[in-house]
Amino acid sequence: MKITDLKCAVIGQNPTVRINTDEGIYGYGQAENAKPYLRSHILFYKQFIVGEDPTNVERVMLKIRRLGGFKPWGSAVSAIEMALWDIAGKAAGLPVYKLLGGKVRDRVRIYNGGVRHGGNLLSPDDYAADLAKSVAAAEGFTIIKQSVGFHSAMPRDLPNFSYGEYINAPAHPNKGLLTEKGLKHVIACVEAMKAVIGDDIGLTLDCGPGWVLPDAIRFAKALEPLNIMWVEDLLSGDYSPYNLADVYRDLTMATSTPTHTGEQVYLRHNFKELIERQAVRVIGPDPEDVGGLAELKWVAEYADLHGILMAPHGIYDGLIGLAGLVHVCATMPQNYIAFEYPVGKPDWWYDIITGLPNPIVKNGLIDVWDTPGLGVDFNVEKARQYLPAGDENFFD
């Protein structure tokens, strides 16, 4: 079998990859819906993979893996890797999880980061009301993540939140020492959420990046009585092209509140220091940034050897990314907690993808399906209307 073509169409906002072969088997992969600009970057790799056997996934990846980078520039490589596994599974007549080592679990736990309810959250009452809606959601979430601090509207909308100069730009660029008012406000919002959630559902916090170490320590220690599952990306993360493993270790050693980072990290090599130095308690690579499904599995195994927990990122990964997460997380060792549940945006994605369970989530869990490859496909007749001009032949 040989690869004959690599295509990419931005469907909605998700750059979606299709790899065709000379045997008529095709595979799909996906990049995050926050990255519609990646189409040309993905197509750059076509020259390297056409003519290769897609079922030799690692051989193909050795040709392109070195040409990626930290978020967002590992996304193109990751989407291609996902499509290769889809082809390999279809060719073998096996679900992708079988090719990644087989199931450890029949159902995978997810956590809510993406099912949102609108409105600007600022006050403790805002946070309590929003969390109550997530608790009541049909998915029956057992873990819910909420954004606070520099990963929220607080730097913009709360007067005197920090001593830093506010930067009006995307992807959370702000940083600075918090005022006492700012620090107490964030803590009050967390306490309000815990009053709603009690001890029945786990609460995690997406915090930054942007906190300076003294504030991060104060904050994490203040949360210790609340048993927060983890505090994410306090120091670096999201689109930071570095890890700050030494500073994270100082934070981690100073508190019993679990620390978490890793969504922006590309490749296993860039997790080495975080893991070996015990810099955080939980890591959260995203399969659409880290280099793909097998790369995510490798990082999970290495983290398990060092007693570090795994909670993959995935909020923007789309429905094909959701399928990839289900397959790889089914194979992870027992350090696995849950992955961040991606939702289809716009909602019509649910009308054009086939193969997902209905409902997708039951009591915070997704049943692992057994169809070959990733097990999802397009309803082409419904999907064609959403193809951008110039990509009319995407499904051919």
To 5 degrees, how large is the angle CA 339–CA 131–CA 191? 105
Can you identify the CATH homologous superfamily of domain 3-95+379-386? Enolase-like, N-terminal domain (3.30.390.10)
Hey, where are the domains in the chain? 3-95+379-386, 98-374
**pLDDT value, residue 327:** 98
Is the model's pLDDT at 117 over the cut of 90? no
In the chain, the percentage of residues whose pLDDT exceeds 90 is: 98
Q: What is the pLDDT of residues 33-66, one digit of tens each?
A: 999 999 999 999 999 999 999 999 999 999 999 9
pLDDT in tens, 243-301: 999 999 999 999 999 999 999 999 999 999 999 999 999 999 999 999 999 999 999 99
β pairing state of 353-354 and 377-378: antiparallel
Q: Structure pTM?
A: 0.97
The answer to whether the beta carbons of residues 58 and 289 sit under 8 Å apart is: no
**276-306 burial code (b ≥16 CB/10 A, e <16):** eeebbbbbbbbbbbbbbbbbbbbbbbbbbee
Residue 116 pLDDT greater than 90, yes or no? no
Among 207, 212, 251, 269, residue whose Cα is nearest residue 232: 207
Confidence of residue 323 (pLDDT cuts 50, 70, 90): very high
Q: Residue type at 115?
A: V
CATH 3.40.190.10 fits 98-374, yes or no: no
**Model confidence band, residue 318 (pLDDT cutoffs 50, 70, 90):** very high
CA torsion angle 236 238 242 244 (round to 10): 20
Average pLDDT, the chain: 97
Given this model, what pLDDT does residue 114 score? 87
- Give the pLDDT mean for 170-178: 95
Question: Minimal CA–CA distance to 83: which of 3, 22, 26?
Answer: 26
**The pLDDT of residue 370 is above 90:** yes
Q: What number is the average pLDDT over the span 88-106? A: 98
Q: How confident is the model at residue 384 (pLDDT cuts 50, 70, 90)?
A: very high
Tens of pLDDT, residues 199-248? 999 999 999 999 999 999 999 999 999 999 999 999 999 999 999 999 99
Residue 120: which pLDDT band, with cuts at 50, 70 and 90? Answer: confident
Buried residues in 226-249 as b, exposed as e (16+ CB within 10 A): eebbbbbbbbbbbbbeebbbebbb
Res 118: pLDDT: 80
Pairing of strands 26-30, 14-21: antiparallel
Which two structure tokens, joined as six digits, stand for 133? 């809606």
Task: Quote the pLDDT of residue 109.
Answer: 98
Q: Which of 121, 124, 144 is nearest to 186 (CA)?
A: 124
Which residues, other chains included, contact 389 with Cβ-Cβ below 8 Å and sequence gap of 6+?
none
pLDDT for residue 119: 82
Tens digit of each residue's pLDDT (9 = 90 or more) over 150-172? 999 999 999 999 999 999 999 99
Q: What is the model's pLDDT at position 103?
A: 97
pLDDT of residue 375: 98
